[in-house]
Chains A and B, each alone.
Chain A
């Protein structure tokens, strides 16, 4: 029995059938029929954002903190083009989101109609897949397929463009169960390759696990299996920015984050290891540094669900294509059945070496005087929020790296940051998405003042829906990371990298009806943070910090893992001409 209904009703019905409870969006002419349907039902909550970019980032925050796909709904033309940054962000970080866009009626497509844009053309490069639906009969099937594509294999953003006449017309609704998709990515890894990796694990003298966002995307079970594997083998583990939380920061095998601003012990272990086991990471340039000098003496295994990630940047010895959870399960089975062997004597020696690197204490800093060091602000935030049901989002820049270094994550899906695209303005709307999914949790956006201003309009959204998101702004009145690079690379000529004419953040908060807190004295910091936590509503926390603090340690552009700058030494010659062209 097929049910007849309008396209607009079909969209809402398909979302309900897909288990969607929240949609982030902004209405406009080309989506009015859909908004009319949303108005007449109670299953799906619509969150009115203040800018379409905010809708997409909020959907990302929702998706990353729940493991479920996020949904955004925007109008044609500018609504769609404003969604492009969020789509690209989700593509780079493999976040499953579904963006529904309105389109001018089919008979006007191509006529440069009001608010017309070639949405599928524009977003072809920044979605995993997209569809323009020209027949109402096909609409519900496409939406079900869209959810399937977004969430299967390597997750990613998809977009469905729906002309207004298709929304008005009636058609047959296709059930979710009727979907027969050709897209069925391979989940199980090749057993021969897995066995080869077990061999390597048994014989490794200096192994390291290098994990990434793929572990988180594979689901909580994958993190659980990873923990089992790490604890059983006793091998050290590091993670990319995207993978923080897949192994607990309090675990004794944890080396901290690796990469450009990663920890000394993590990068040194990567450089000196004889077996590197990449689990769901992609050898990003923030991780490898200069490719030619990347971990020169190691055998490299790479577990990835996306075949194009394998051998793209780094040539690996043991490629395993498959889902992290499935592969780890098989890997553990084989390793256990062969007697749980490792070269424990050699690994113990390896740990001694790692302990010596750890003893360097690369994150040490000194909080003295009356100016708050940003590292100190985050150390205190970590200490005071540790016991809470806590979710952290960030913007992009120095504060983001410090947050990754000084905050600890015990579980997956607790850390939402724009890794691949590096989108300033991501964190605030993402925190709204996270809070929507976890109404009782403590959601904190660690921000810089410049990033935060990029999507500050979402204060209206937070207030309208009573979302008690905490905006923890490390305010150095600078574009800190830009300033740092200008200091290191461009002769301390600080071209346009300071924030002039900043608002009074306390008054800004009050203008929206929220609470504002300003703190500049280290002695007041703890009380101020507690005041923020205990306030039942959105807070803008203006934390005035040291203006010229640099983010260390750092692998300068064009250098290898074992060539890190550790602190405020002479940094003027750290980057050579070749490194300068790199970003």
Chain B
């Protein structure tokens, strides 16, 4: 796997993967953008995606380095390898973007998402929901006699699976944060 770490200013030889494969199959990639924490920076990134017609499956953003004024934007996107390369090159071109990482190709990474599920019901369904929540290590953060709010953290697939199970048991509402991701190892 080629490292796609973009170091602006570094005289690195191949900052971008300029020789991608040209398959027409869409891939899902998780990108991590290190950006300057300044007004409008999120608008610059989102505006680029909207303006050039790229997909956003999920997006999270928060400040990660207060002294360095840096925020991290994690974007899950979808496209052919050529489109993914364009997305990386185009986001890398934004002046406030310091670094672009493609966690999907840069090696192993962990992805986590937090979600909250409101499930309403009584009797067997209510018991079953609680039992499944326990299996999925979801916490009950609010309960009434007719409802629970579960909090669950995990990879997006785990949360999808939990949502599938809760649907027949009285799923009322879902809130998901979107993916946060980091590469594994040092």
Binds B, one of A120-128, A163-171, A221-229: A120-128
Chain B 68-107 interface residues, beta-carbon cutoff 8 Å to A: 82, 85-86, 89-90, 92-96, 98
Not counting A124-B40, A182-B36, a sample of 6 additional A-B residue pairs whose C-beta atoms are within 8 angstroms of each other reads A185-B8, A192-B13, A307-B18, A307-B89, A310-B16, A311-B86
- Given contacts A125-B47, A128-B95, A190-B13, whether A310 and B18 have CB atoms under 8 Å apart is yes
A208 interfacial contact with B, CB 8 Å: no
16 contacts between A and B (CB under 8 A): A120-B40, A121-B40, A129-B95, A132-B40, A149-B95, A182-B98, A183-B9, A186-B12, A307-B15, A307-B18, A307-B92, A308-B92, A310-B16, A311-B86, A315-B22, A319-B18
Residues in A whose Cβ lies below 8 Å from that of B86: 308, 311-312
Chain A 113-156 interface residues, beta-carbon cutoff 8 Å to B: 120-121, 124-125, 128-129, 132, 149
Chain B 1-32 interface residues, beta-carbon cutoff 8 Å to A: 8-16, 18-20, 22
Question: Is there contact, CB below 8 Å, between B16 and A124?
Answer: no
Residues in A whose Cβ lies below 8 Å from that of B95: 128-129, 149, 183
Tell me how many residue pairs across A and B have CB atoms closer than 8 Å: 67
Question: Is there contact, CB below 8 Å, between B89 and A182?
Answer: no
A321 interfacial contact with B, CB 8 Å: yes
B51 interfacial contact with A, CB 8 Å: yes
Residues in B whose Cβ lies below 8 Å from that of A330: none
Question: Is there contact, CB below 8 Å, between B13 and A124?
Answer: no
The 4 closest A-B CB pairs, nearest first, are A184-B9, A308-B89, A319-B18, A129-B95
B176 interfacial contact with A, CB 8 Å: no
Interface string of B155-166 (1 = CB under 8 A from A): 000000000000
Question: Is there contact, CB below 8 Å, between B43 and A124?
Answer: yes
Interface string of A184-225 (1 = CB under 8 A from B): 111010111000000000000000000000000000000000
Measured CA separation A121–B39 after assembly (Å): 11
Residues of A within 8 A of B (CB): 120-121, 124-125, 128-129, 132, 149, 182-186, 188, 190-192, 306-308, 310-312, 315, 319, 321
How close is A126's CB to chain B, nearest CB, in angstroms? 10
Question: Is there contact, CB below 8 Å, between B15 and A183?
Answer: no
Residues in A whose Cβ lies below 8 Å from that of B36: 182
Residue from the list B10, B18, B44 in contact with A321, Cβ < 8 A:
B18
How close is A242's CB to chain B, nearest CB, in angstroms? 19
Question: Is there contact, CB below 8 Å, between A319 and B15?
Answer: no
Residues in B whose Cβ lies below 8 Å from that of A191: 13
Question: Is there contact, CB below 8 Å, between B8 and A124?
Answer: no
How close is B33's CB to chain A, nearest CB, in angstroms? 14
Residues in B whose Cβ lies below 8 Å from that of A129: 94-96
Residues in A whose Cβ lies below 8 Å from that of B43: 121, 124
Question: Is there contact, CB below 8 Å, between A124 and B18?
Answer: no
Residues in A whose Cβ lies below 8 Å from that of B39: 132
Residues in B whose Cβ lies below 8 Å from that of A125: 47, 51
Measured CA separation A192–B12 after assembly (Å): 12
Residues in A whose Cβ lies below 8 Å from that of B47: 124-125
Q: Which residue of A lies closest to B90 (CB)?
A: A308
How close is A155's CB to chain B, nearest CB, in angstroms? 13
Measured CA separation A40–B181 after assembly (Å): 56
Residues in A whose Cβ lies below 8 Å from that of B12: 186
Residues in A whose Cβ lies below 8 Å from that of B40: 120-121, 124, 132
Measured CA separation A312–B90 after assembly (Å): 10
Residues in A whose Cβ lies below 8 Å from that of B92: 307-308
Select the residue from B18, B19, B43, B47 with max chain A CB neighbours within 10 A: B18
Measured CA separation A128–B85 after assembly (Å): 20
How close is A423's CB to chain B, nearest CB, in angstroms? 19
Residue from the list A149, A183, A190, A310 in contact with B89, Cβ < 8 A:
A310
Question: Is there contact, CB below 8 Å, between A311 and B20?
Answer: yes
Residues in A whose Cβ lies below 8 Å from that of B94: 129
How close is A117's CB to chain B, nearest CB, in angstroms? 15
Question: Is there contact, CB below 8 Å, between A319 and B19?
Answer: yes
- Given contacts A125-B47, A129-B95, whether A311 and B82 have CB atoms under 8 Å apart is yes
Residues in B whose Cβ lies below 8 Å from that of A183: 8-9, 95
Measured CA separation A311–B93 after assembly (Å): 15
Select the residue from B13, B82, B86 with max chain A CB neighbours within 10 A: B13
Measured CA separation A120–B82 after assembly (Å): 31
Measured CA separation A190–B10 after assembly (Å): 13
Q: Which residue of A lies closest to B95 (CB)?
A: A129
Residue from the list A124, A190, A307 in contact with B44, Cβ < 8 A:
A124
Residues in B whose Cβ lies below 8 Å from that of A188: 11
Measured CA separation A319–B16 after assembly (Å): 10
